[in-house]
Each structure stands twice: as structure tokens, then as C-alpha cells.
């Protein structure tokens, strides 16, 4: 039995529904669970003790949308000023060379940055399988997550509608529907864990309305719903181009299309959800949204209706999106941007800092269907972050909730604890040599990008 005792916490922020911030309290972790919270918990001598006199302690952030492989394709000059559709068309020409090593290293880099910036549970949306070859790309992501010690919901993405069928991606990166469903089933049978403390779950995730057929949306939902807690995920209502595409091809709005193919309910979550009408919000019926502020700003996609979603009890969460549209995996910075973008759109009707912290923690847990994550209370899973608030970036701060999202140093957390294990200590990853990872990832990323530029004869 392992025990960690957080002693004398300066600010304890459990992120329960009612705003509550407690000072001078202790928290005991036994194995992977929060076993006790209270004043002056007795030291028995068999615990690892962390003096929390300078730390704010809150639940870990939950990242509900990402494309890890993009961590290897950041800041490519030729796509920087483009909106989503032309941006994608150019990048597919790099991404068609994806292999196991790129996927493994991209996952390690993205997950490493997520852990260091306060994320304890992340999903990923991997939809690129070049040349109809499933290989073991998702298996390599799961390997990376296990090595780093983060909780991981992998989504088996897919693209079946290539250029020749009226879709956006080139045909060399789309797959036939049988291969998609077979590999989806293989991954669920091999890795999906429906238990309350699962470290790995699988969800199924056709890429977007403009890259798959209606048939694959329906057969994917049918497959997922044969299993317990296998959720469904896709991009939705990200741009007005997508809306026009759906109206042209399907004669309806993107949310109406989801309703038509049975993609509505508590087991579904959508990335972005920017261009949703009042009627679309009614259609969602419990489906969740992954709000991706940086990506939406960078690709000029629009601003998500975060206040309406939150106040209408539509599950909403925060996500970094892929590292080619962000270009980072800094979860804490994303929380800050969600707060600022909400205030830009709503002004005096904006959400409070505490609301934003709740969205980033238990909001994300709800979207991913996790009952025992996202709140710090007894018998919940021990996923939490410790942040030093006794440094210059918090000087003169009069409200710690606002301080964490607005004035603090939104870069590194001091400790990150996942499932009762310390995975970041003193701001550094515990389970990987960061310098070695940087060198190896850069070498591979340089090779593949240089290869594409040579092909173009730049
Ligand atoms: Zn995305």
C-alpha cells in the first residue's frame, strides 16, 4: 500500500459545484484514491509527506481534444496564415508520411507537455492511417501514455471520404470502411477498460463531416454502443466552410446531420462546437463540447458559445487541439485563454474564474464519462496538481481562483499526481529523460519535414 500525505495545503480548491476554497487542510492519498481530507491528519510514518505550505492544490485538468502527432509538425511556415480547409489540404501532404515512430514521439512530446502544465487525463483524436495501413499507430500512443503515467482516452479516428469521393483529404490518407471497423474493434477488445479507475479507454472518432461518409458514422456508432462506456467523438461546427459543405452535400446543418446519423447523447462529444444555432443547442441533448480557444483563434474559426453552453448545462470542457493549430500542448495556458476569450465575447455576462476551473476539471471528466475524476473529495481518484503560489507572479493577488487563471505564471505545475503516483516533481517529468526525448523527436521531425520540402523542390 502506498501513501502520500499533502500537509498544510495553502489553498485547497476542490472544484465542487459550490465555490469553496479552504486553507490549512491536509489530504491523504492511499494507493490511487483520496482516502482522507481534513485538518491535522495524523502522521503514521509510512507516508511520503509533501509540505504544501506554498501550494494551491486542485484537480488535474482534463484535455478532451488533441492530435498528438501534430507535435512533430509545429510552425511550418507555409501554412501559418491559412484558415482550416486550405491549412488541412497543405498539411495532409506532410502527414501522409506518418509512421509508428512519428506517432510514438509525437504522443510522448504532447503528453509530456500536458503533464507539465497540469493535465492528468487526456484524450487524443488520431484519424490518419496512410495507405490504408492501420499498422499499430494507436498502440504506440497507448505505449507512450503508459510510460509517462498519464490517464489516457485514445480515440480511434478515421477518414473514408477522399478527394475522389468529394471529401477534403487526398485518397492516400483515407481507409476503406471494413479496415476502419476491424481496427476499431481490435483496439477496444485489446485496450478498453470500463472500470471506474481505468487508465486507458478507447472511443471511436470518424474525423469530421467532410472526411467520412454517413454510413461510417452510423456503423461506428453501432459498434461503439455494443460495448460499455465506449464513447463517440468527432469535429463539429468548427467553421462556416463546414456548415456550407454540410448544406451542399447533405442538405442540413452539421448538428442536424449528427442527429440524423444517431450521433446525439451523453456518450458523444464534439470538438469545437463554435457555429451552433439556438436550435442546434437543443439538438445536442447531453452531448459534450471540447472548447479549443487557441486553435479557434489561430485558424480564425470563431468563438465558442461558452456561456450559453455552461448555463444551459450542456457538458463543456477545455482542450488544446492539435499542436499544428495551437502550436503547443500547454493546458494551463488554454484555461487562461478560455477565460479571456469568454470575457471578450460576453463582457459582464462572462463566466467567473471558478466556473472556468470547473469546466477545465470536472467539466472535462463529465464530457469523457468519468465519475470519480475532476473533483477533490474522499473516495475519488487521486489525480491532482500542486502549484507554487508564493512567487513573484502571484504578488499582490487578492483572489486565488482569479489568480490561477489570470495573473499567475501559466507555465509549469510543481507536482502532478495521476492515479496516486507522482509523475511531475519540481516541474520535471519523472518518467522520461526530457533532453533525450527532445533530441530524438527533433531529429525525426526534421527528417520528415525536409523530405516533403525536397519533394516540392523548395
Ligand atoms: Zn481537432
Complete DSSP assignment for 196-261:
TT-SEEEEEEE--TTTS-HHHHHHHHHHHTTSSS--EEEEES--HHHHHHHHHHHSS-HHHHHHHT
Q: 182 C-alpha to center of ligand 1: Å? A: 23
**Side-chain-side CA neighbours of residue 107 (13 Å):** 30
What domains are defined for the chain?
3-59+376-426 (2.30.40.10), 61-367 (3.20.20.140)
Q: 87 C-alpha to center of ligand 1: Å? A: 12
Residue 451 reports pLDDT greater than 80 = no
φ/ψ of residue 175, rounded to 5? -120, 160
| CB-based contacts of 287, cutoff 8 Å, min separation 6 | 258, 263, 264, 265, 266, 268, 269, 270, 314, 315
Segment 323-331 mean pLDDT: 85
Q: 66 C-alpha to center of ligand 1: Å? A: 6
Q: State whether the Cα torsion 95-100-102-108 is positive or negative.
A: positive
Q: 247 C-alpha to center of ligand 1: Å? A: 21
DSSP 8-state secondary structure symbol assigned to residue 457: T
Q: 13 C-alpha to center of ligand 1: Å? A: 30
φ/ψ of residue 320, rounded to 5? -85, -20
- pLDDT of res. 234: 96
Summarize pLDDT for 126-184 with one digit per residue, the tens: 999 998 677 799 999 999 999 999 999 999 999 988 888 877 888 888 899 999 999 99
CA distances (Å), 27 to each of 35, 150, 175, 422, in order?
A: 8, 21, 49, 15
Q: 302 C-alpha to center of ligand 1: Å? A: 14
- pLDDT of res. 413: 96
Residue 324 reports pLDDT greater than 80 = no
| CB-based contacts of 14, cutoff 8 Å, min separation 6 | 20, 22, 58, 59, 375, 376, 377
Under the banding of pLDDT at 50, 70 and 90, the label for residue 279 is: very high
Residue among 118, 60, 2, 19 nearest 373 (CA): 60
Q: 420 C-alpha to center of ligand 1: Å? A: 30
- pLDDT of res. 198: 98
Q: 426 C-alpha to center of ligand 1: Å? A: 31
Cell numbers placing 452: 516533403
Residue 320 reports pLDDT greater than 90 = yes
Cell numbers placing 205: 472518432
Q: 125 C-alpha to center of ligand 1: Å? A: 7
Summarize pLDDT for 303-318 with one digit per residue, the tens: 999 999 999 999 999 9
**Is the pTM for the entire model greater than 0.85?**
yes
Terminal-to-terminal C-alpha distance of the chain? 59
Q: 94 C-alpha to center of ligand 1: Å? A: 17
Helix/strand/coil percent split, the chain, to 5: 40, 20, 40
Amino acid at each position: 500500500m502506498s501513501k502520500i500525505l499533502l500537509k498544510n495545503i495553502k489553498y485547497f480548491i476542490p472544484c465542487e459545484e459550490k465555490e469553496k476554497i479552504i486553507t490549512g487542510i491536509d489530504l491523504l492519498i492511499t494507493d490511487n484514491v483520496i482516502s482522507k481530507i481534513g485538518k491535522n491528519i495524523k502522521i503514521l510514518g509510512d507516508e511520503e509527506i509533501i509540505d504544501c505550505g506554498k501550494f494551491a492544490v486542485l484537480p488535474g485538468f482534463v484535455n478532451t481534444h488533441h492530435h498528438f502527432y501534430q507535435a512533430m509538425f509545429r510552425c511550418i511556415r507555409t501554412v501559418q496564415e491559412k484558415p482550416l480547409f486550405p491549412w488541412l489540404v497543405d498539411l495532409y501532404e506532410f502527414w501522409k508520411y506518418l509512421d509508428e515512430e512519428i506517432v510514438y514521439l509525437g504522443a510522448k512530446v504532447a503528453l509530456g507537455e500536458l503533464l507539465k502544465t497540469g493535465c492528468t487525463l487526456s484524450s487524443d483524436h488520431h484519424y490518419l492511417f496512410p495507405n490504408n495501413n492501420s499498422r499499430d499507430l494507436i498502440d504506440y500512443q497507448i505505449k507512450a501514455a503508459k510510460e509517462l503515467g498519464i490517464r489516457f482516452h485514445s480515440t480511434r479516428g478515421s477518414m473514408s471520404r477522399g478527394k475522389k469521393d468529394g471529401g477534403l483529404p487526398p485518397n492516400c490518407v483515407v481507409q476503406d470502411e471494413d479496415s476502419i471497423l476491424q481496427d476499431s474493434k481490435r483496439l477496444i477488445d485489446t485496450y478498453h477498460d470500463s472500470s471506474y479507475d481505468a487508465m486507458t479507454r478507447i472511443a471511436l472518432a470518424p474525423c469530421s463531416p467532410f472526411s467520412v461518409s454517413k454510413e461510417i458514422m452510423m456503423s461506428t456508432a453501432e459498434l461503439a454502443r455494443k460495448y460499455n462506456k465506449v464513447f463517440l467523438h468527432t469535429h463539429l461546427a468548427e467553421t462556416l466552410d463546414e456548415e456550407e459543405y454540410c448544406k451542399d452535400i447533405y442538405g442540413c446543418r452539421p448538428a442536424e446531420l449528427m442527429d440524423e446519423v444517431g450521433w446525439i447523447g451523453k456518450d458523444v462529444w464534439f470538438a469545437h462546437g463554435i457555429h451552433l444555432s439556438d436550435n442546434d443547442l437543443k439538438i445536442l441533448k447531453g452531448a459534450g463540447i471540447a472548447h479549443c480557444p487557441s486553435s479557434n483563434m489561430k485558424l480564425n474559426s470563431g468563438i465558442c458559445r461558452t456561456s450559453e453552453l455552461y448555463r444551459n448545462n450542456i457538458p463543456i470542457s477545455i482542450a488544446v487541439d492539435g499542436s499544428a493549430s495551437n502550436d503547443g500542448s500547454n493546458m494551463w495556458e488554454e484555461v487562461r485563454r478560455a477565460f479571456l476569450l469568454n470575457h471578450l465575447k460576453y463582457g459582464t455576462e462572462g463566466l467567473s474564474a471558478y466556473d472556468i476551473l470547473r469546466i477545465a476539471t470536472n467539466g472535462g471528466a463529465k464530457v469523457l464519462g468519468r465519475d470519480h475524476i475532476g473533483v477533490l473529495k474522499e473516495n475519488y481518484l487521486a489525480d491532482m496538481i500542486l502549484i507554487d503560489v508564493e512567487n513573484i507572479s502571484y504578488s499582490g493577488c487578492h483572489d486565488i481562483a482569479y489568480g490561477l487563471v489570470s495573473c499567475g505564471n501559466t507555465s509549469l505545475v510543481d507536482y502532478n499526481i495521476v492515479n496516486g503516483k507522482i509523475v511531475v516533481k519540481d516541474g520535471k517529468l519523472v518518467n522520461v529523460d526530457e533532453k533525450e526525448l527532445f533530441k530524438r523527436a527533433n531529429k525525426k521531425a526534421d527528417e520528415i519535414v525536409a523530405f516533403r520540402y525536397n519533394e516540392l523542390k523548395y
